[in-house]
Each structure stands twice: as C-alpha cells, then as structure tokens.
Amino acid sequence: MGKLISRIKNSLSTKIFLGVMSILITVCLLIFGSLRILMPKAFESEQSAQFSTNLHKLANQLETIDIEDLESYITSFAIENRANVTVYDENETAVSSVNIAEATDGSPEKKSNNNVVGTVTFQNEGRAYSLSADIAVSTAEQLTGTFMQVFPYILIIIIVISALSAFLYSRILAKPIVDISRISKKMTALDMTWRCDIKRSDEIGVLADNLNRMAASLDNALTELRTTNEKLQEDIEWERRQEKQRKDFFAAISHELKTPVAVLKGELEGMICNVGKFKDRDTYLQEAFETAESIEKLVREIMSLAKVNMEEMKLHKQDIPLNDIVADCLKIHEDLAAAKQIAIQQDFEDGILCRADYMNLKKAVSNIIGNAVHHSPEKASIEIIIRKSGGKGILSVENSGVHVRQEETLRVFEPFYRIDKSRSRHTGGSGLGLYIVKNILDMHGFRYSLENTEKGVKFTIAFS
C-alpha cells in the first residue's frame, strides 16, 4: 500500500489518470442518478398531458356521433389508452362504462398505483353528458425498475470508458511533461547532448522550445568554459615550465660562472704571491686573459638571451627574403669556415619570404650556421638549402663529419647543455647557442628539428 501511495505521489501521469477517471465516473453517475430521478416524473407528466389531450379529442368526437355508437368509441379509447371510461348523463347516471385497466391487471398492487383522472363534458342531440376516465401510471415505476436492473452493466461500461479515456488523456497530457522532466534531470548533470522534440504550439511547446534554447546557450557557455579552462591549465603548465627553466637556468649560470671565476681568481692570486709555477707571469697572464674572455663571451650570451626574452612581447615582424638573411649570416662565419677549410654549398630558391623579426631571426640563423661551422671537423662540408614546400619556406643546414646521439637531439636545446661531457668552452661553446635559437623560433611559432643524416647532422626550420 505504501508503495502504491508513493507511486501516486511521484507520478504525474498516475495522478492525471486517477483524477480524470474519478471526474468522469462522478459525472456519469450524477447523470445516471439525475435520469433515475427525473425521467419517471417527466414520463408521468408527459403521459398525463397526452391522456388529457386524447380525452378532449374523444369528447369532440362524441358530440358529432349517434348516441348508439357511443359504446364503440369509448371502448376503442379505453383499449388504446388502457383506461377506465364512464359516460354520465345530466342526471349523473352512468350511460356507458368500460373498465379496461381493471380487466388487464386487477392485482391489488397495481390498483394502489396513482391514477390520472380526467373529466370533460360534451353535448349530443341537445343533451349534456360528462365523460370521466382514469389511467394507471404504473408504467413510470416500471421504467425506474428497468433503470435499476441495467445499472450494474451501465456502471461497468462507465468505469471501462472512464478508465480508457483517462489513460489516453493522461498519456497525451503527461508525456511531454514527463519528457521535459527527464530532460531537466540531464541538464542538472550538465548533459546538453539532448534535444526536446515536442512539436506543440501551446505553453508546453513554448517550454520545450525555451529548454532547447537554454540548453544550446548552456552548451556554448560550457564549451567556452572548458576551452578557457583548458587554455588556463595550459598557461599554468607553461608558466610552471618557464619557472622551472628559469630556476634551472640561473642554477646553470651559477655553475658556469663559478668555475672560470674561481680559475681566474686562483691564477691572479698565484701571480700576486709569486709562488710556484705562477712566477712565470707572462704565461699565466695570457691564460688569465683567455679565461676572462670566456667569461665575457658567456655574459654576452646571457645578455643576448635576456634581450630575446624581453623582446618576446614586442616583435617587429616584416616580410624578410630568406636568401638575404642567410647571406648576411654566412659573412659572419666565413673566416672561421675558411680557416677550417670547410666547403659551404648553397642551393637557394629565389623569392621565398618569411614574416619575422629581422634581428631575432638573424641571431637564430647565425647561431645555427655558426654551430655547424664550429662543430664540423676540418675539410668538412656544409650544405645550406632554401626551398618552398607546401606553401612554406624551408631552411635546412646540414654539416658533415659529426653525429649526435639520438637521445641528445632534444637535450641540445637545453641551456648550458654540451654534447662534450667535459663541458670545455674550447670544444663545447657556451651551451646557450641552440637554447637561444629555440626561444626565438618558439616565439615566432616556427617548427624546427635536429636530426642525424648519412653525412652528418641537419637542422631544419619550417617558416609559417
């Protein structure tokens, strides 16, 4: 019982079904009860009125007939109306009498029923007569009895029709509301992949259309929110990486500067104190000078990197011919290349432009070419190619005679990382060259790669 009550409370369609069915049954029972009460009375009234009309018609007929035919007329009337008819003369003596009602059914129960009595007067052949007739109204009570006999069947029909009508009505009315309720539950779970397919022009249809519009707006808002959140997470992760890089960078700077400064300080102290091998000041002054130069070079690289980072937010981009910028960079390193007898092969396709900041891009290309010249052995070759592929300019610099271990092809872009494990500045440089190249290309959005080839190592840039 408790489950049934709970189902009724929680189900709109059940409530509508029970409500509509109760109303239909109540209305039908009221109509049936009204007919049960009013129809017999109406039948009696109609029967009385009809009897009175027929009685007056009979009186009119009796005024025009021969008095000898009186008996046949009143007999015919009595039979047709199941009535008792008596004709009196002016002395109130019964002239003719026909008792059809008593002859048909003379039981005491029937005699006790209410009778309709009518009296009219007529004249025939100058004499006055009165016509008295009565009719039993037991037929109305028979009608009531018939009503009560068929009542159980009518009640079953009423319940069946009411239940069927209530079921159909509850389904038609409640289904869209139930659909909307189910959809609203999905909305609470932020599921906006549904659509409310209710094609109606009434208030429910308007509600469904508003839900669709609201879902579309919420879906767009959630999509934007997710996109923004993903971008925010990417930015946060990028900031974390940048912070880690900064910490690693400053730690590396400390390490890189500590060693040459310590060496320079030791050499100078030894020469000042004039002890041991440092008595040969001319020799160690030259070494101290070279150490100071390496420190100066490292500081210049750090300042160059700091300048790149400072200019990241204010790039002055312009269309730059790749041929010109590579030619300018080759002039910077042609003396070292000539000293090492390195052959530089050029294969430039004319008219290729890239949109970039000139000074920053020149610094990156110069570092790439300088790296190739510096790390190539004597009498090696460097091949520089500029071509167009897929609508983009491609620059590749390939130097022969050297290779990079596969696991180091990505690490060479880290600050102060040198392939030479001794970390000698005479063979490994400052360790910032490719790190600066990476920062410049990243802030321009250019794709780049470093890979081993059959001849050596190739650096490739794809300009967007």
From 109, 135, 164, the end of a domain falls on 164
Say how far apart CA 170 and CA 177 lie, in whole Å: 11
177-187 per-position pLDDT tens digit = 777 777 777 77
Joined together, the tokens standing for residue 127 give 């004499």
Residue 352 lies inside a defined structural domain of this protein: yes
Say how far apart CA 18 and CA 311 lie, in whole Å: 77
Question: Is pLDDT above 90 for 262?
Answer: no
Amino acid 102: pLDDT = 52
Residue 422 lies inside a defined structural domain of this protein: yes
Amino acid identity for residue 375 in this structure? H
Say how far apart CA 127 and CA 179 lie, in whole Å: 88
Amino acid 428: pLDDT = 47
* Band of pLDDT at residue 111, cut at 50, 70 and 90: very low
Q: Beta-carbon neighbour count of residue 133 at 10 Å?
A: 27
Question: Is pLDDT above 60 for 312?
Answer: no
Which has the minimum average pLDDT: 33-47, 51-65, 312-326, 365-379?
33-47
Output 125 or 8, whichever has higher pLDDT: 125
Residue 93 lies inside a defined structural domain of this protein: yes
Say how far apart CA 360 and CA 371 lie, in whole Å: 17
* Band of pLDDT at residue 399, cut at 50, 70 and 90: very high
Q: Cβ-count burial of 386 within 10 angstroms (0-12 exposed, 13-18 middle, 19+ buried)?
A: buried
Residue 229 lies inside a defined structural domain of this protein: no
Q: Per this entry, what is the length of the chain?
A: 464
From 135, 164, 193, the end of a domain falls on 164
- Report the percent of the chain where pLDDT is more than 90: 16
Question: Is pLDDT above 50 for 315?
Answer: yes
- What is the strand order of the sheet 83-88 is part of? 94-99, 83-88, 127-136, 115-124
Structural domain count of the chain: 2
Eight-class DSSP state of 137? -
CATH code: domain of residue 448:
3.30.565.10
Q: Cβ-count burial of 245 within 10 angstroms (0-12 exposed, 13-18 middle, 19+ buried)?
A: middle
* Band of pLDDT at residue 434, cut at 50, 70 and 90: confident
Question: Is pLDDT above 80 for 418?
Answer: no
Closest CA to 159 of 14, 21, 33, 17: 21
From 142, 164, 186, the end of a domain falls on 164
Closest CA to 370 of 340, 415, 403: 340
Q: What angle do CA 449, 444, 346 make, to 5 degrees?
A: 55
Amino acid 70: pLDDT = 84
* Contact between residue 196 and residue 183 where contact means Cβ atoms under 8 Å apart: yes
Output 349 or 11, whichever has higher pLDDT: 349
Amino acid 104: pLDDT = 42
Question: Is pLDDT above 60 for 461?
Answer: yes
Residue 2 lies inside a defined structural domain of this protein: no
26-78 per-position pLDDT tens digit = 888 888 778 777 777 777 788 788 888 888 888 888 888 888 888 888 888 88
For residue 170, report the phi and psi dihedrals to the nearest 5 degrees: -65, -35
Which has the minimum average pLDDT: 100-109, 201-210, 276-285?
100-109
Q: What angle do CA 350, 353, 355 make, to 5 degrees?
A: 170
Output 388 or 45, whichever has higher pLDDT: 388
Output 81 or 386, whichever has higher pLDDT: 386
Helix axes 12-62, 2-10, angle to 10 degrees: 90
* Band of pLDDT at residue 122, cut at 50, 70 and 90: confident
In whole numbers, what is the pLDDT of the chain averaged over residues? 79
Task: State which H helix or E strand residue 448 sits in.
Answer: strand 447-452
Question: Is pLDDT above 50 for 109?
Answer: no
Joined together, the tokens standing for residue 437 give 């190249």
Joined together, the tokens standing for residue 446 give 């250019």
* Band of pLDDT at residue 110, cut at 50, 70 and 90: very low
Question: Is pLDDT above 80 for 361?
Answer: yes
Residue 260 lies inside a defined structural domain of this protein: no
199-251 per-position pLDDT tens digit = 666 777 777 777 777 777 877 888 888 888 988 998 898 888 778 767 776 77
pTM (two decimals): 0.46
SS3 199: coil
Residue with tokens 């009535």: 83
Say how far apart CA 147 and CA 164 lie, in whole Å: 24
Residue 456 lies inside a defined structural domain of this protein: yes
Say how far apart CA 246 and CA 309 lie, in whole Å: 11
Amino acid 131: pLDDT = 87
Residue 84 lies inside a defined structural domain of this protein: yes
Residues whose CB falls within 8 Å of the CB of residue 152, separated by 6 or more in sequence, listed in order = none
The listed range with the strongest mean pLDDT (49-53, 148-152, 412-416, 447-451) is: 447-451
Say how far apart CA 387 and CA 335 lie, in whole Å: 26
Joined together, the tokens standing for residue 252 give 């590396």
Q: Which domain holds residue 112?
A: 11-164
Say how far apart CA 215 and CA 219 lie, in whole Å: 6
Amino acid 26: pLDDT = 84
Its sign, for the CA torsion 328, 331, 332, 333, is: positive
CATH code: domain of residue 70:
3.30.450
DSSP for 339-359 reads HTT-EEEEEE-TT-EEEEEHH
Question: Is pLDDT above 70 for 455?
Answer: yes
* Contact between residue 366 and residue 428 where contact means Cβ atoms under 8 Å apart: no
* Contact between residue 368 and residue 338 where contact means Cβ atoms under 8 Å apart: no
Amino acid 414: pLDDT = 80
- Report the percent of the chain where pLDDT is more than 70: 81
Amino acid 9: pLDDT = 62
